[in-house]
Structure 1
Amino acid sequence: MTDPIIPQPHEPVPPILEDDISVKSRPSQTNTGPEPRATEGNDTIIELTRLEYSSKPSPVTAPTDVEARDTPDGGPRKSPYVQMAAICLSLFLAGWNDGSTGPLLPRIQQVYHVSYGIVSLLFLSSSLGFILGGVASVYFVGHFGFGKAMVIGSLIQIVGYCIQAPGPPFPAFVIAFFLNGFAESLQCAQANGYVASFKVSSSKLGLVHCAYGTGALAAPLVSTQFAQLPRWSFHYLVSLGVACMNTCTLLAVFRLKTQDDCLREVGEEVAERGQSKDNVYKQILRLKAVHLIALFMLMYMGVEVTIGGWIVSYIIKVRGGGSSSGYISSGFFGGLALGRIGLLWVNKKLGNRLAVFLYIVIATGLELIVWLVPSLISGAIAISLVGLLIGPIYPIVVNEASHILPGWLLSGSIGWIAGVGTTGAAALPFIAGQLAQEKGIWSLQPLLISMMVSMTLLWLIIPKGHQRVE
């Protein structure tokens, strides 16, 4: 006869804290009667549960995905496309300003009764404004910051258009060109330095300079019509409206913030600071590459604006064009805008160095056609193709500069380069006007071709930079 099975008293399980396991996993606190002894399997389950909960990361220390995207001021990361749109509007206005002069130039000569030499004072005045704006841009960004410098430039441009709109005496018109040159140089320097600071900058630079070309394309379409009206100077009322829109947009988007703050808002890395305690001007001016690139940009922008500013007068006087010749200037700037976007894939295939070299060489050949082939139609087509080919050069060079120059000096260096470059945008048209006064307007083409050959040679000695991954 077997012994009867005597129930064994329940052995208590070590207490399990609420933090370790859920209430659902906790053993019951009340005994309803004799229970079987806890098996080894139950102990294993309890231990695994304890490990599972103890291995979970603390919710306090684990950064969330949202926090990783936050900007320094606590807000969510912003889209860079809003900033790019604001900069594109600023560059559109710069192109509009430069593209307006060519079709209006013959009418300005007629109204003020001035010669080629005197009317070219407009370009000289603008040149002085560009020089001062380029030099001042380094000071402005250091003392006021990117956002404030952009707004200051846009406000000065509003003042310039207010002077031009009523058709003032010629000296006041010259002063207005100075103000617009200063304002445009200041904004372009800041915009180029800012966009070049983006990690992937080549396509963005092409986009903003396409906006410049679009403005330069649209302006002659409007100014050609105003040039035939009694109130020709009312063209600058249209310019004033665009300038006011530009100021409001810059205020709303950048809100007077520094460049570093604006870059952080869109998730871009901020360049490290240099260790040198020297003045920023001294650090920039010690860089040989800065001066070579600046000289190249001086020639390039001089060629670009000289073609846009004087080609209408050349076509009218040398090729017998009529009052609609102003549209040829639109064709040039239209090619400029198209080239900065349409040739991006070619730039990527050829590389920056080879692309710039080939574009200049082919454009020089087309300029020879304009000079030597006595045909209005072939000249107009060639001028449009010249615009198409030289259009990508500016953004390519700025992008190349971002590979060559130190990151902490990039914005100031681009400001200096743009300031010196835009000097050529006013100085070379002034020289062209003086030559036209002495020798005739036919001298425009030999001047342009000599500048293009000089650009080709200079490009070959500019140092190569490291290739940034984009």
Structure 2
Amino acid sequence: MALSAVETVVTPSTKVKGHVARPARDSIKLSTLEHSDGPSAAQIDNDIPQYNSSPEKGLFTKTNLHFATLCWCLFLAGWNDGTIGPLLPRVQGVYDVNFTIVSLIFIFNTVGFVAASIANVLLTDYFGFGVVLLLSTREPARIVSNFLAQVMVIGSLIQSTGYVLSAIAPPFPVFVLAYFLSGFGIALQDAGCSGYIAAVNDSTRMGIMHAIYGFGTFASPLVSTQFAQLPRWSFHYLVSLGMSLVNIAMLSTVFRFRTQEKCLEEIGHTIPPAPIANSSGSKYKQIFKRKDVHLLAFFILVGVGVASTIGSWIVTYIIDVRGGNSSSGYINSGLGAGITLGRVALLWFNNKIGERRVIFIYNILVIGLLMVVWFVPSLIGNAIAISFVGFFSGPLYPIVMNHAGRIIPAWILTGCIAWIAGFGQAGSALVPFIMGVLASNTSIRSLQPFLVSLSTFMLFLWILVPNARRPD
């Protein structure tokens, strides 16, 4: 059997009364000369992140700067998802389309999300999280350009293109295409943000970051509801465009087109390499053969789909069924506020009860609140219930991302997160589209039974999700 060696580099030592001074921690390195059938010493516990011995102090640290940039990225994703609900009745009126046709917005958004989730593994592997590929004398055979935009900047650029098209209120097919572009761009960024935080295994930051997403869904309806009542309703997308340009500038400046590994090393984290037994073969093959990845992806698809369907159709439901007026769009802000508060205020409860068990509790509460909206004919009561739906459903997404970090090996975690987030976020488009088809064939009253059925299905999916990492 081949041997593996540990190479030790020791700085000049000082002998004091027969003792040898301990070498500095960072003067010791491990290297594997040859690989054996079993893991070498350098590969033991290779899923555990390595930290700097001198953590950063202060408010304006690189860690906090990275985190703030990711939060802005997620805020813009929430802003985008909270926009369409208040604008949807106006879009139907302007383009004179029924529920099914207007729901093409969601189906093309779905195509964008799924396309990005598949492309993300390849793009992140080749370009990196935020990478500059420079010609290297050590790799003369590899032909790369001197400058390639990072994956997340690519996503933000594509998202901005979608806003440009939407802002001019183009013909409906072009308006639908704009949502494909925005969906593709957001999926790239969402996967990058979640994968980054999952790699450092920080459940608190994961919860806060996705709470910022919720704040975006809260803020956007406050603005889009106003634009829905103006002649230039599509100018709301100019506001979104301006925020997206800021996002491009922040991503480019903070991450400076480096790989995710380099960005993590800058703040003291190291992603370990794959063990030799798992390093061969396509990363796609390693990801897609995992049952736990697909279960988490479907759970996210349904969960995000429920939240997005509420955000997309609840205004129409309140206007048509409960007799609300054009100001009903503010109910979406209540939903966003609930998501934001739930992801922060319930962090202690998640840790106390356990993140796996607490999902069952939240799902049951959400089902009960949706039934209140279904059977209680009160405009104010429905608005309050929707806010609490956001409060209890908000923690689900970050909890799933944290759980992925616990049960998925580190060397494929980012790729798995990309698939889970991208495929799961497709629910924000696919499920509202299905709802639009149902509303056309029946009525908007089918919204609540549809949502209750999906929330019940989520309980079944979560039972199937494993609680521990399977042997690899």
Q: Tell me which residue corresponds to 1:252.
A: 253
State yes or no: 1:94 paired with 2:77. Answer: yes
CA distance in 2, matches of 1:52, 1:397: 54
CA distance in 1, matches of 2:17, 2:62: 39
**Counterpart position of 2:113:** 130
Moved over 6 A (4+): 51-58
Q: Tell me if structure 1 keeps the 8 A contact 2:52–2:269.
A: no
Give 1:325-364 correspondences, 5 Å limit: 325-364=328-367
- Shift in Å, 1:78: 5.2
Q: How far apart are residue 164 of structure 1 and its match?
A: 0.8
Change (3 A) 1:62 1:358: closer
C-alpha distance in structure 2 between counterparts of 1:236 and 1:278, whole Å: 43
Q: Give the deviation of 1:52 after TM superposition.
A: 7.0
Q: Give the residue type in structure 2 aligned to 1:125.
A: F
How many Å apart are 1:142 and its aligned residue? 0.6
Distance across 2 between alignment mates of 1:402 and 1:55: 43
Q: 5+ residue gaps in structure 1?
A: 1-50, 72-76
Tell me by how many angstroms 1:424 deviates.
1.2
Hey, what's the Cα distance between the residues in 2 that align with 1:143 and 1:382?
46
Q: Which residue of the partner structure matches residue 242 of structure 2?
A: 241
Structure with the greater alpha carbon radius of gyration: 1
CA distance in 2, matches of 1:204, 1:138: 23
Match of 1:440 among 431, 439, 443: 443
Tell me the amino acid that sits aligned with residue 262 of structure 1.
C
Distance in 2, Cα, partners of 1:358 & 1:197: 27
Q: Which residue of 2 aligns with 1:284?
A: 287
Alignment check: 8 A CA contact 1:401 1:465 kept: no
Which of residues 312, 317, 339 in structure 1 aligns to 2:320? 317
Distance 2:24 2:309 in 1: 60
The amino acid of 2:84's aligned partner reads T
What letter corresponds to residue 270 of structure 1 in structure 2?
I
Q: CA offsets, 1:341-398, max 9 Å, x none?
A: 1110010111011111100001100000000111111111000000000000000011
How far off its partner does 1:268 sit?
A: 1.3
Q: Counterpart of 1:381?
A: 384
Q: CA RMSD in A?
A: 2.2
Distance 2:111 2:265 in 1: 35
* Aligned pairs, number: 408
Task: Please tell me the residue identity of whatever aligns with 1:92.
Answer: F
Which residue of structure 2 aligns with residue 113 of structure 1? 96
Match of 1:189 in 2: 191
SS at match of 1:291: helix
Structure 2 counterpart of 1:403: 406
After TM superposition, give the deviation of residue 272 of structure 1 in Å. Answer: 2.8
Matched residues in 2 for 1:57 and 1:438: separation? 80
Counterpart of 2:458 (choices 446, 455, 459) is 455
**Residue equivalent to 2:162:** 160
2:408 equivalent to 1:425: no
Give the Å deviation of 1:53. 11
SS in 2 for 1:85: helix
SS at 2:324's partner residue?
coil
TM-score (norm 1): 0.83
Deviation, 1:466, is 5.8
1:273 counterpart letter in structure 2:
A
Distance change (3 Å), C-alpha of 1:403 and 1:52: closer
Cα drift, residue 293 of structure 1: 0.8
Q: 1:272 aligns to what?
A: 273
1:461, distance to aligned residue in structure 2 (A): 1.5
1:57 CA drift (Å): 6.4
Deviations 1:253-287 (A, max 9, x none): 10111011000000013233243311000000111
- What letter matches 1:455 in structure 2? M
Unaligned runs of 5+ in 2: 1-14, 28-50, 55-59, 131-149
C-alpha distance in 1, partners of 2:415/2:114? 14
Corresponding residue number in structure 2 for 1:20: none
User: d(CA) in 2 for partners of 1:270 and 1:96?
Assistant: 31
Amino acid across the alignment from 1:131 = V
CA distance in 2, matches of 1:284, 1:141: 14
Give the 3 Å change call, closer, same or farther, for CA 128–361 of structure 1 in structure 2.
Answer: same
For residues 333 and 64 of structure 1, the distance between their equivalents in structure 2, rounded to whole angstroms, comes to 46
Displacement of 1:79 in angstroms is 2.7
Question: Is contact 1:78–1:265 with CA below 8 Å preserved after alignment?
Answer: no
Q: CA deviation at 1:210?
A: 0.7
Query: Is 1:139 aligned to 2:122, yes or no?
Result: yes
